[in-house]
Structure 1
Amino acid sequence: MPGPVFLRGDAVTLRPPERDDLAFVKRAMNDPRVWRPALDVTPTNDEQVTEFFETVLSNESDVHVLACDGDDPLGILSLTTSKYGPSETSRARSAELAYWFAPAHHGEGYAGDAARELVRYAFEDRNLRRLEADVGAFNDASSGLLESLGFEQEGTRREAAWYRGDYHDMYVYGLLRSDWAAPTA
């Protein structure tokens, strides 16, 4: 059973992930349709998913939420500030947006709804100035989602990812709060 509602989108709720959600997380993280595009090629067992929960999903300097449709978990979204270091984050007011959804929920609009709500939260509630996201050049769906939210491709890290037998570019996307079109209520 998911935790209490933290944020509410049009079609999804965003909740803190709980230990009870680890079976869903493990199942999704071991699905090739999730781990391949996420470039995380290591299988995940019970011990590893518990460690992931304790060290990543419960990290106090970052935000991690479970997107749900009712009580059904759909995916995980994160605002990661630890990438920049504590002093850099406070000065630049930046975070990285990341997400993955279980394959059964790809293409249903849930990811866009959830990401839109987390972007709003980042700018309006956390007072962030900038968000960025890294996407493999092979991941058209993720690039499209980010562009639909107003993110712009700011750069390319050439051949920075190994995906399905080849090196691929990684795109760096960014969104400034001043360029963000806040949805009207």
Structure 2
Amino acid sequence: MPGARVTRGERVALRTLERGDLSFVQRACTDPDLRYPLGTPVKNRTELEEGFEDRSDDRFVVCLDAPDAPPGAPDEGDTEPIGVVSVQDADWKRPELGYWLVPSVHGEGYGTEAVSLAVDYTFRTYDVPAIGAGAFASNDASRGLLESLGFTEEGCRRKFMYVDGEYRDMVQYGLLREEWRG
């Protein structure tokens, strides 16, 4: 069950990722609709638990909260997890955003709101001049999301990752603090 609410938008909330959320997070490692677009390697529960302890990023569960959901740890039924956003490497170089949502909510605008909240969080929490994010060249939805928030295409890492039997290009994006309209 997701933890305390870190921030909230009009429709989604970002809540702390807790150990109990690992079975939900494992979905990105096993669901082909998520794993292939993300390039996520298959991981078992033990590998996810080890990564949970060793992580150096800020990870949040994207939730649809009930109107009366408390800011602290919610009760069962007060929130529905629909995805994850992460901020990696913010404490020592340019932060890199990562994000995914369950396929059943794709195209409903939740991703744009969740990533926007993560950008706000990052610029409020860390003294960094810019934020980066990457998307596979073939992932038009993810690229469109980043561009709609003001991210600028900075380059392409050709044949960056081997996913589902082929090498994929990764388009790198950046957003400067002064460009952020949030």
Give the TM interval when normalised to the shorter protein. 0.7 to 0.9
Residue range with higher mean Cα deviation, 164-173 or 134-143: 164-173
Q: Give how far 1:41 is off.
A: 3.2
Q: Does the 8 Å contact 2:88/2:97 carry over to 1? A: yes
User: Is it true that 1:76 corresponds to 2:84 in the alignment?
Assistant: yes
Taking only the aligned residue pairs, the percentage that are identical comes to 41
Structure 1 range deviating more: 20-29 or 106-115:
20-29
Aligned to 2:51: 52
Kept in 2: contact 1:130–1:176 (CA 8 A): yes
Runs of 4+ in 1 over 4 A off after TM superposition: none
User: Is 1:143 paired with 2:138?
Assistant: no
The CA RMSD over aligned residues, in Å, is 1.7
Please state if 1:63 is matched with 2:63: no
More moved, 133-142 vs 116-125: 116-125
Structure 2 residues not aligned, in runs of 5+: 66-78
**TM-score, normalization: structure 2?**
0.85
Q: Does 1:132 align with 2:132?
A: yes
What aligned pairs does 1:1-185 form with structure 2 within 5 A after superposition? 1-42=1-42, 44-56=43-55, 59=56, 62-70=57-65, 71-81=79-89, 86=92, 89=93, 94-182=94-182
**Letter of the structure 1 residue corresponding to residue 17 of structure 2:** P
Distance 1:38 1:2 in 2: 22
Number of equivalenced pairs: 169
How far is the alpha carbon of 1:164 from its aligned partner? 3.4
Gaps of 5+ in 1: none
Distance 1:79 1:161 in 2: 20
SS in 1 for 2:150: coil
CA shift, 1:5, in A, is 0.6
Q: Say which structure is richer in helix.
A: 1
Distance in structure 1 (CA, Å) of the matches to 2:8 and 2:40: 29
Q: Which amino acid aligns with 1:148?
A: S
For the 8 Å contact 1:136–1:161, the answer to whether it is kept is no
